[in-house]
Amino acid sequence: MTPPRPGALAGVSVIEFGDAVSAPFCARLLADYGADVVKVERIATGDVARTWGPFPGDTPHPEKSGLFFFCNTNKRSVALDVTTADGQAVLRGLLRRADVFVENQRPADMRAWGLDYGTLAPECPDLVMVSITPFGQTGPCADWHAYDLNAYHFTATGSRYCGHAGRAPLEHGTFSADFFGGYVATAWALGALYGRAAVGGQHLDVSSAEAIAALFTGAQNIGAYAQEGRFERRGGSGMSLVAPARILPCRDGFAWVIALEPAQWDGLRAAMGDPDWAAPEIFRNLFERGRNADIIYTMLERWTLSLTKQEVMDRCQAHGCPTTAVYNIGELVRHPHLAARGQIIELEHPILGTVPVFGAPIRLPDCPGGAVAPAPLLGEHTREVLGTLGGLDEATIDRLTAQGVAAP
């Protein structure tokens, strides 16, 4: 679907062969900013997200999956049987005319289908192919079967930073590695495409696990571990040496209470009404407060529990203390800030009706992005795309649909 104004990526043609989150999210970001994105789906079942939901009434239906909707707005859908030679030929025909190919299939499957970069490169020398898998295209785990959970915990992020000592490390509660990998892939795909005239097409091998392992947990720990031979693990409660820096309970939820610099601590004291317990001069030092964390948090909690999280946030912020409320999804959807910024968008879908999505995450005033069209029905644009981008005549398309290679 072409947005109503030229986006930053107007004229860029993208083919996506993705499932679930990582590749679909990457291609959706490209679509958000005006690229023409054609999503190739397996003919019988489509993107696996179509089976994951969430569904209205928890009743599965391939056109009613919320996750599919969220990751696939602004795209067209072509349904193909890529396990057949004819289906593979059709997809390769699309790729010969494309600028970018985003996929997250298992490397062994892509090789079996003749859709790996080595096979594609001779006929698509200018193609920027982006593969986003849990472990990447090389290395001993490349062909492992894995989901977001497996990739995320291969990064040491839960081990180091999330969860209580002695209990299991934690994922974020979403498809954290898939989203992160999708963002990383988008940045590198755009870079490779921008310089394509000078350097030619190429293959970008993105491992979601490696991206987080490097950029997040490795960045902050690997230099220290390599030098000192020691490493740390999760503690479960925020920063351990200083205080306050912890999520604390309020009357109606939680707030992230943080005050490190002296001015922030003074702000927190003022927000609390300058209680005597916080008055000692020694407490103006963040490490001294860390050593007295028990009393600091005990007294702070009495205060936070007497207020709503928004009251705690507002009073702290008014006094220069960077405390924030832990918003849940309902509060975010209703939040005046996101409303004022156009971050909650409603789209019409022929089967789901009105569906909300978030706005595009980057604001470009001269070429705005965002969702304008709903996610496509499975194979909705097969005939149209094969006839235009695919360069196939009606008779050929009829034959392919009759043989079950392409959606009717």
Partner 1 sequence: MSAPASLPLAGIRVANFGWSWVGPVAGQTLAFLGAEVYKIESRARIDINRTLPPFAEGIASPDRSLQNHAGWAGNGSVTLNLRDARGQDLARRLVAHCDVVLENFGPGVMRRLHLGYDDLVRVRPDVVYVSMPAAGLDGPLSGVRTYGTSLCSIAGLDSITGYDASGPVTMENAFADPLGGIVGAVGALLALFHRRRTGRGQHVEYSQQEGVLQLMGPALMDLALTGREATPIGNRHPLGVGAPHGLFPCAGEDRWISIAVLTDDEWRGLVRAMGSPAWSADASLHTAAGRRAAIDEIHDQLARWTRDLDDLALADELQRHGVAAAPVLNVADLLHHPHYRARGTFIEVRHPLGFTETIYGAYVKASRTVPDVRPGPAMGQDNERVLEGLLGLTDDEYAHLVEAGVIH
Residue 113 structure tokens: 């289908």
- Under the binding rule (CB under 8 A), the answer on residue 1 touching partner 1 is no
Residue with smaller CB distance to partner 1, 69 or 265: 69
Q: Sketch the per residue contact string, 292 through 311, with partner 1: x for CB under 8 A, - otherwise.
A: --------------------
- Under the binding rule (CB under 8 A), the answer on residue 167 touching partner 1 is yes
> Which residue of 356, 393, 402, 408 would you call a contact of partner 1, by CB under 8 A?
356
Q: Sketch the per residue contact string, 332 through 351, with partner 1: x for CB under 8 A, - otherwise.
A: xx-xxxx-xx-x--------
Residue with smaller CB distance to partner 1, 89 or 345: 345
- Under the binding rule (CB under 8 A), the answer on residue 145 touching partner 1 is yes
Residue 177 burial (CB < 10 Å; 0-12/13-18/19+)? buried
Residue with smaller CB distance to partner 1, 256 or 390: 256
Rounded to the nearest whole angstrom, what is the least distance from the CB of residue 388 to partner 1 in the complex? 22
- Under the binding rule (CB under 8 A), the answer on residue 228 touching partner 1 is yes
Give the DSSP per-residue string, 74-118. Answer: TEEEEEE-TTSHHHHHHHHHHHHT-SEEEE-S-HHHHHHTT-SHH
> Which residue of 31, 78, 79, 156 would you call a contact of partner 1, by CB under 8 A?
156
Phi, psi at 238, each rounded to 5°: 90, -150
Residue range at the interface with partner 1 (CB under 8 A); choices 39-47, 96-104, 277-285, 329-337: 329-337
Within the chain, what is the greatest distance between any pair of CA atoms? Answer: 86
Residue 339 structure tokens: 């409303």
- Under the binding rule (CB under 8 A), the answer on residue 57 touching partner 1 is yes
- Under the binding rule (CB under 8 A), the answer on residue 373 touching partner 1 is no
Tell me the HSE value of 122 on the side-chain side, using a 13 A CA sphere.
3
Contact criterion met (CB below 8 Å) for 354 and 80: no
> Which residue of 180, 265, 297, 303 would you call a contact of partner 1, by CB under 8 A?
180
Phi, psi at 349, each rounded to 5°: -120, 140
Please name every residue paired with 246 in a beta bridge, in sequence order, or none if there are none: 257
Residue 302 structure tokens: 């009495």
Nearest alpha-carbon partner for 353 in 69, 86, 132, 24? 69
> Which residue of 44, 108, 219, 295 would you call a contact of partner 1, by CB under 8 A?
219
> Which residue of 114, 290, 322, 404 would you call a contact of partner 1, by CB under 8 A?
322
Residue with smaller CB distance to partner 1, 149 or 299: 149
Residue 182 structure tokens: 């999708």
- In order of 39, 41, 359, 376, the CA distances from 33 in angstroms are 16, 22, 11, 17
Rounded to the nearest whole angstrom, what is the least distance from the CB of residue 46 to partner 1 in the complex? 15
Residue range at the interface with partner 1 (CB under 8 A); choices 94-102, 273-281, 285-293, 360-368: 360-368
> Which residue of 4, 122, 140, 350 would you call a contact of partner 1, by CB under 8 A?
140
Nearest alpha-carbon partner for 21 in 66, 82, 53, 67? 67
- In order of 14, 63, 373, the CA distances from 1 in angstroms are 12, 18, 7
Q: Which of residues 62-81 bind partner 1 (CB under 8 A)?
A: 64, 66-67, 69-71
Site size with partner 1, rule: CB under 8 A:
160
> Which residue of 17, 55, 113, 297 would you call a contact of partner 1, by CB under 8 A?
55
3-state DSSP assignment of residue 103: strand
Question: What whole-number distance in Å separates Cα of residue 282 and Cα of residue 364?
Answer: 48
Residue with smaller CB distance to partner 1, 238 or 290: 238
